[in-house]
């Protein structure tokens, strides 16, 4: 089955449910990545041949899925969340893989977001995934049922910045006198913020900056 090794995604569990042939002499899909490609995750085959545990999932439209009913074909379960940066990064790859596998493997993406549809539906609308379902597990019942490790708490607590903030006097905006242009535009004197003759702000703890929220914004040095 082409490229099936790519199921070794960070938050994915490869599950072979009841109805699959466990007596086949063929080697299971390889864990190694394609030549020259290094993947950090690994395939978990500890559930091979077992039925899925009984957990009921829902989607933003109100449809229900009883995981115990997933029988008759291999199932790839992906536990993810919108706040999990590695999970979000691998979703396009998983979407492409699901399209490539077609009916041969059922891909079940299960969000662990506590806010459920409120964050998952907009995320899917923005990314326009063609092959991934929006199953929700806001109470996070599925991970313990699968004896699966939770999503990384360190990633949830980490600040994930987007865009850049540049201030006058630093490499991207080296001319401190440009501060005057900003003051003329915003007129911060109205709230008690003044600019000295050396283009320093008073009170001295004040900070000004240009903020660019675009995801491709990068820091640079003006020569």
Give the pLDDT means over successive 10-residue stretches in the chain (223 positions): 37 36 36 42 70 88 89 86 88 93 91 90 93 91 80 56 80 85 90 89 85 80 57
**pLDDT tens per residue, range 67-118:** 888 888 888 889 999 888 888 989 999 999 999 999 889 999 999 888 899 9
Beta carbons of 121 and 60 less than 8 angstroms apart:
yes
> At 94, which CATH number?
3.40.30.10
Residue 177: domain span: 164-212
Q: Please check whether residues 170 and 97 belong to one and the same domain.
A: no
- Residue 222 inside a domain? The answer is no
Can you give the length of the chain in residues? 223
- Nearest alpha-carbon partner for 96 in 66, 131, 146: 131
- Nearest alpha-carbon partner for 211 in 161, 163, 159: 163
- Residue 192 inside a domain? The answer is yes
Residue 201, SS3? strand
pTM score of the predicted model: 0.51
Q: Please check whether residues 180 and 94 belong to one and the same domain.
A: no
* Residue 95: per-residue pLDDT: 95
* Residue 93: per-residue pLDDT: 92
> How far apart (Å, rounded) are the C-alpha atoms in residues 13 and 138?
18
Among candidate residues 157, 174, 202, the one where a domain is terminated: 157
* Residue 18: per-residue pLDDT: 32
Q: Please check whether residues 61 and 19 belong to one and the same domain.
A: yes
Q: Please check whether residues 143 and 174 belong to one and the same domain.
A: no
Beta carbons of 63 and 92 less than 8 angstroms apart:
no
Q: Which residue has the tokens 């109205």?
A: 190
- Structural domains in the chain (count): 2
> How far apart (Å, rounded) are the C-alpha atoms in residues 8 and 4?
9
* Chain mean pLDDT for the chain: 76
């Amino acid at each position: 089955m082409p490229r099936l090794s790519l199921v070794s995604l960070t938050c994915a569990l490869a599950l072979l449910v009841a109805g699959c042939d466990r007596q086949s002499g063929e080697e299971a899909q390889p864990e190694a990545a394609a030549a020259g490609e290094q993947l950090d995750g690994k395939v978990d085959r500890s559930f091979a041949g077992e039925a899925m545990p009984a957990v009921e999932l829902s989607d933003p439209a109100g449809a229900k899925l009883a995981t115990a009913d997933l029988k008759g074909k291999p199932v790839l379960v992906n536990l993810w969340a919108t706040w999990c940066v590695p999970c979000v990064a691998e979703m396009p790859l998983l979407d492409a893989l699901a399209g490539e596998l077609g009916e041969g493997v059922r891909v079940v993406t299960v969000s662990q977001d506590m806010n459920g549809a409120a964050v998952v539906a907009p995320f899917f609308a923005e990314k326009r995934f063609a092959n991934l379902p929006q199953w929700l597990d806001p109470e996070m019942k599925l991970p313990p049922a699968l004896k699966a490790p939770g999503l990384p708490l360190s990633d949830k607590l980490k600040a994930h910045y987007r865009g850049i903030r540049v201030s006058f006097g630093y490499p991207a905006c080296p001319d401190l006198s440009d501060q005057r242009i900003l003051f003329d535009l915003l007129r911060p004197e109205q709230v008690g913020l003044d600019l000295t003759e050396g283009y320093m702000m008073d009170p001295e703890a004040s900070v000004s900056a240009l903020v660019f929220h675009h995801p491709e914004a990068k820091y640079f040095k003006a020569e």
